[in-house]
Amino acid sequence: MSIFFIAEIGINHNGDMKICKQLIDLAVEAGCDSVKFQKRDIDSVYSKNFLDGYRDSPWGKTQRDQKMGLEFNEQDYKEIDNYCKSKKIEWFASAWDLKSQLFLRKFNCKYNKIASAMLINIELLEMVAEEKKHTFISTGLSTMEDIETAVKIFKKKNCPFELMHCVSTYPMKYTDANLKTILTLKKKFDCNVGYSGHETGLVVSYAAASLGISSIERHITLDRTMYGSDQAASLGPAGLKRLVPEVRRIQIALGDGVKRVLEEEIPIAKKLREHIK
C-alpha cells in the first residue's frame, strides 16, 4: 500500500481563491494524493470577546476581521470542489465545530479529518464517525487516554480510521518529533498510523516514512514568508516536489522484509567466491 500523501492547504490560501488554486496545482504537480482544508464557524469556535479584540491584519483591525477573511463560503467550496475534480485530486477538510461538519456534508468528500485540537470533542467525533468515511485522526496535544477514547468511538461506530502521530508546535523542533510514538500507537491500537508534521525541512518526514507509516501530511505554501500563522512551518514548492517522490522511494526501498538472493547477485557471488573451496 502506497503512503497516502496529504497536502495541507489549511488556511495558507489567505482567503484568496487564486492562491488556493495555485496551491492545488502545486499538490498535483508534486504527486500528492489529496489536499486538505480547515473549516470553522467563527462564532462557534471563538468567543465574542475574542473576536471583538484588536488584531491588525490584511482584512481589518479585529480578530473577527482576520478570522472571517480566512474562511471560504459555500460558493468558494463549490469552486474548490469543481477545480479539484478537474485536476483529478481528492480534497477534504477538518471541521473545528459541529456546524462546520454539517457544512462539509454538502460535498461528497471521500475522507474526514479530526484535527489534534478537536480530539477531545466527543460530540464532533461521534458526528464524524457516523458518516463511515475513512478518517485521519491527528494526535497532537493529546494523551494516550484521549486517543483511546477517540479510537473506541470510531470502532464502536464501525468507521474506518487511521491515527496520525503529530506534535502540535509551529514549527516543531526536530528534537521534539519522538517518531517512535508511531510504533507505540501501531502496537497499542492495532491500526494504521500516519504522520502529520509541522517541522521545517524534510529529514523528520523521511525518518517517519522509514517507520512504515500509512499516510503523511505536510502544510504547503507558495512562500514561507507570506502572512499567516502556518506559513513558516509549511513546505514551499521546491520542498514539496522533493519530498513526495523521495518518500515514495523510501517506501519502495523498505521492501517486504523477506531475505532473498537477487538474480543479479548470482554471477557476482560466483565471481567473488570462486576462490573458496
For residue 133, what are the domain limits? 4-272
Give CA–CA dist 125/228, Å, rounded: 28
Q: Is residue 30 within 8 Å of residue 241, measured between CB atoms?
A: yes
Read off the C-alpha cell for 50: 475574542
* Mean per-residue pLDDT pooled into runs of 10, the chain (277 residues): 96 97 98 98 97 96 97 98 98 98 97 98 98 98 98 98 97 97 98 97 97 98 93 95 98 96 97 93
What is the per-residue pLDDT for 180? 98
Q: Would you say residue 277 lies in a domain?
A: no
Q: Provide the CB-side half-sphere exposure for 86 (13 A, CA).
A: 9
Q: Residue 151: how many CB atoms within 10 A of its CB?
A: 19
Number of domains in the chain: 1
What is the per-residue pLDDT for 277? 79
Give CA–CA dist 138/165, Å, rounded: 6
Nearest alpha carbon to residue 43 among 94, 97, 93, 95: 97
Q: Would you say residue 106 lies in a domain?
A: yes
Q: Would you say residue 242 lies in a domain?
A: yes
Q: Is residue 106 within 8 Å of residue 86, measured between CB atoms?
A: no
CA 155 to chain centre: 21
Prediction pTM value: 0.96
Q: Which residues of 235-255 are buried (b: 16+ CB within 10 A; e: fewer)?
A: bbbebbeebbeebeebbeeee
Q: Residue 72: which residues within 8 A CB-CB, separation 6 or more?
A: 13, 15, 17, 20, 37, 39, 80
What is the per-residue pLDDT for 172? 96
Instruction: Indicate which CATH number applies to the domain containing 117.
Output: 3.20.20.70
Q: Is residue 162 within 8 Å of residue 193, measured between CB atoms?
A: yes
Give CA–CA dist 264/36, Å, rounded: 43
What is the per-residue pLDDT for 197? 97
Q: Would you say residue 26 lies in a domain?
A: yes
Q: Supply the DSSP string of 45-60, one letter for each residue.
A: HS-HHHHTSEEEETTE
